[in-house]
Structure 1
């Protein structure tokens, strides 16, 4: 493979902190990420700590969104864009997202370290991240207060919640301990009884 001078655009908070545009002579997208980690102070630490801040990343080469498997393909002079996305946002389910820690792991694995490839811990971590991503894409997202569409949906303290904002088909949370928030009504019924 031949090294090609490639332009790398960092979006959002990455662009504000580390600069929006960088040029590096690289062969692959993962090598571009590794080059940024080696040449920009605190870039690697920022990517490693992004999951704790609730941020994940989408990587694009040209207009194509790349998955983890695509990072090792050769670059062809197209612009590489790394865009931060908030974990749990609807965009995170649409794009194939890559956590900051996975970006660095792929960059180091691409440099052919046998220890990283043989580590069962990395396999387990990769599988759990992939499974979590699939579950996030398949599960419906609660609309929150935007679900409230009727004028009849007024405040009700009957079941411990301030307003009835639940809708059919949303995931049901499972709580342990004391409840300090409004609940979701799963089933309710009324029956009439004669009193004599």
Structure 2
């Protein structure tokens, strides 16, 4: 018997703790799909909603290749995480170049002038140039490694706030929450205070 723990929206929808006679995480996911109607459909449709899942065996993150190999006795934890879309500024650079060309056509051609290009051409070129510079800077700047390559012993994933993926690297944007939280997010500040009991 292994304990399967679901976090975030999975835990809210299908229950947080389950005990099943399974050996591997892949077996556990398949058993959940059989036991709970709609579980497999929920997992398959999650990518459209911007979610993917991390599978943990105890505190160790299990890769997709290891889903069949982990036959330990630790709890299997399945946690939803956001899908990122880092493209290194390439789209921003291309869009900036297009804006520069459109602005130049508007400002320096007779038919662009007829469309009022004298008023909007140069500002559009400046905006495009700024976007190009920003895109190039994004392509040149180093990216911080993810949770898989922790360098500091204190930078460990914590389950205290509902998900193991709640650590964030310095300089990344922090999402602003409206409504009920579905998955773990970056905890900006937290503290524990000890008081003497009298």
Task: Indicate the TM-score class for this superposition, using the shorter chain for normalisation.
Answer: 0.3 to 0.5
TM-score relative to the length of structure 1: 0.47
Structure ranking higher in helix proportion: 2
Q: TM-score normalized by structure 2?
A: 0.47
